[in-house]
Structure 1
Amino acid sequence: MTELDDGSLEAWFWRRHANPRSGWSRVPVGAVIVYAVYRRDARLLAGALVWTVCNPFVFPPPETDEAWMTRAVLAERWWVRAEGNGTVGLARPNVFNGVAATGFCVALYAAWRRRPRLAAIGTALSVSLKLWWLRLLVRRYDARARAEE
């Protein structure tokens, strides 16, 4: 995890966010936000947003990078910083993240309009495609690491 050791505040943040408990505990937050919008529950929405912001600061840095979610966070940072890519776009793999973001917007709109089936489909699509995007990044990240050995 040497790419996260440059001493900056950003590196400190990413080291802590790389803890698999940080990553996995953020996965259901999108669903909680959609549910809060559907229920018109401002407290639940505020709690989900506060958790999203505070989450990386709650967990210590991971001891190793063996966990899949740790490598997913490292791969995302590598993809954006070292490779100079964005996170959405029309090319693979970013198209998956772009469609995931669109699915989340659909889920929020459906929740606001109180259409539970569409909200659930949009949420499931969003989470599934985000994890698929991370899966593809982890494959590339791991392949790069093997090639450097």
Structure 2
Amino acid sequence: MDIFKASERLMGLDDTEWAHHASPWSVYTRFTILPLLTVTTWARDALGWWILLPVAAIVVWIWANPRVFPKPATTNNWASKGTFGERVFLNRAALPVPDHHRHWAFGLSFAAGLGLIPLVWGIIAYDVGLTPFGMALSMGAKIWFVDRMVWLYEDMKEADPVYRAWLR
């Protein structure tokens, strides 16, 4: 199972929505998701069943985020290129990407997932050491992943006129 393709299908982004997601506002505000979920679940004893309201709002935010921001005036920036690289990576079956980019993408995604282990354990145990450690590992790997996607886009933008047209 390709976790990247599965998440793409789950989000259901079309070309227009991808263009909105290329907004730096969309990219940078997506980094709020893990901290918001962490704070919310950390407060589970205080919130009780009311925890479902902020969790539902966060789930809605995950879906809405790539859709609510306007298309950026320019896409010649780190955040936009990161989304372009992600699209290039998702299209790797049709237009293969260099192996080193593929290996880094899978490795960094694995590291981000690995960071969830101490994060979740820290939240469950209310451990003030494990929680930020897990969050830092997971978010650090995700930010590095986006940076690698910028690199991938830079390496692949001349491989397809569609890729090249995203940059404006």
TM-score where L is the length of structure 2: 0.72
Q: Give, in whole Å, the separation in 2 of the partners of 1:34 and 1:84.
A: 36
Give 1 or 2 for the bigger CA radius of gyration.
2
Task: Render the CA deviation track for 1:52-77: whole Å, top value 9, x for unaligned.
Answer: 11112211112221121111011111
Task: Render the CA deviation track for 1:15-66: whole Å, top value 9, x for unaligned.
Answer: 1111110110111211110121111141332222221111122111122211
**Secondary structure of 2:61's match?**
helix
Unmatched segments (≥5 aa) in structure 1:
1-7
Query: Cα gap change, 1:69/1:120 in structure 2, threshold over 3 Å: closer, same or farther?
Result: same
Misfit runs of 4+, over 6 Å: none
Q: Which residue of 1 aligns with 2:113?
A: 101
Q: Give, in whole Å, the separation in 1 of the partners of 2:104 and 2:147.
A: 12
Q: Which residue of 1 aligns with 2:85?
A: 75
**Secondary structure of 1:62's match?**
coil
Tell whether the 8 Å contact from 1:94 to 1:133 is kept in structure 2 after alignment: no
Q: Give, in whole Å, the separation in 2 of the partners of 1:144 and 1:95.
A: 20
**Secondary structure of 1:64's match?**
coil
Indicate the percent of aligned positions where both proteins have the same amino acid: 24
One of 55, 76, 83 as aligned partner of 1:66: 76
Unmatched segments (≥5 aa) in structure 2:
1-11
Supply the RMSD in Å over aligned alpha carbons. Answer: 2.5
Q: Give, in whole Å, the separation in 2 of the partners of 1:93 and 1:21.
A: 23
1:115 shift after superposition: 1.5
TM-score where L is the length of structure 1: 0.80
Tell whether the 8 Å contact from 2:19 to 2:71 is kept in structure 1 after alignment: yes
Q: Give, in whole Å, the separation in 2 of the partners of 1:109 and 1:81.
A: 35
2:32 is aligned with 1:28: yes
